[in-house]
Each structure stands twice: as C-alpha cells, then as structure tokens.
Amino acid sequence: MKQKLLFLIIGAAFMILLISVGFLIHLKRLHSSLSYIQTVGQYVQQGKLDEAITLLKNTLSKNPRNAEAHAALGMIYNKKDLCDDALSELKTALSIRPDLFTIYQEMYLVYKKKGMEDEARSALDSYEKLRGAK
C-alpha cells in the first residue's frame, strides 16, 4: 500500500514537472512571437521597410502558415507600392485565416491604388460584413 502511494506521488510530481516545462516552452514561444511583431512595428515606424520584410520572410520560412506575418508583409509591400506582391501576401493570409477582417481593408487600399474598383468594392463589402459579425 505504501509503495503504491509512493509511486502515485512520484507520478503526480513528474506530471506537474512535465506540465510546467510545457507551459514554459509555450511562454517562450509566445514571447518570441510577440517580439517579432513588436520588432516589425518598430522597423516600419523607423522607415526600415526592407529590414521588416527580411524579418517577416525569416519568420515565414520557419512557419509558412503564419497568417499575421503574411498580412504584415502584404501591408509593407503596399507601403512600398509593390501592389502585386501585396495582394499575393494578403490573399495567402486570408486563405489561412479568412476571419482576419482587417486584411480586407488593406486589400481595398491596394485594389484602389491599382484602379480595380470592382475588386476594391468587394474587399470593402467583405470587410464590413465580417466587422459587423464580430
């Protein structure tokens, strides 16, 4: 009986240790994720768009399904007047996360810049529809 209780206590302690390590790994990844977003924002504010692009491409090389990184890259491409690249990244972001309604707003701006009025209206309609659903 005492031996079973001892094994139970050791097992519970081991489980707590595993959960703690997992939680620490999660926090480190979350901090890393927030850190790259903050750094990209700082680069953009400082006008260092090429550095922001490099950081985002590096992030996407590690996780190509990061919708937020694709969206940020599309927004930066739009700032650089690289409209086709911007639309490509924004569409990729939407294919991963169609609920990111602010992407439609950026697509509206890109389509307007390209003179594509029908597409711009469609993007704005999608933005308003999703925004209203939130």
* Residue whose C-alpha is closest to residue 66's, from 56, 75, 51: 56
- Residue 51 has a pLDDT of 94
Measured distance CA(18)–CA(24) in Å, rounded: 10
* Residue 63: strand, helix, or coil: coil
pLDDT confidence band for 8 (50 / 70 / 90): confident
Residues 22-73 pLDDT 10s: 666 655 654 555 577 788 888 888 999 999 999 999 989 988 999 999 999 9
Task: Render pLDDT for 75-131 as a digit per residue (tens, 0 to 9).
Answer: 999 999 999 999 999 999 999 998 888 899 899 999 999 999 999 999 988 888 877
Neighbours of 85 (CB within 10 A): 17
What is the pLDDT, as a whole number, of residue 37? 79
Residue type, 98: P
Q: Are 114 and 123 in contact (CB under 8 A)?
A: no
Rounded Cα distance, 126 and 114, in Å: 19
Confidence (pLDDT) at 20 = 67
> What amino acid occupies position 94?
L
Domains of the chain with bracketed CATH: 2-133 (1.25.40.10)
Longest dimension (CA), the chain: 79
Which pLDDT score, from 0 to 100, does residue 101 have?
A: 81
Between 132 and 87, residue with greater pLDDT: 87
Query: What pLDDT score was predicted for residue 21?
Result: 64
Can you count the helices (H) and strands (E) in the chain?
A: 6, 0
Which of 115, 96, 26 minimizes the C-alpha distance to 73?
96
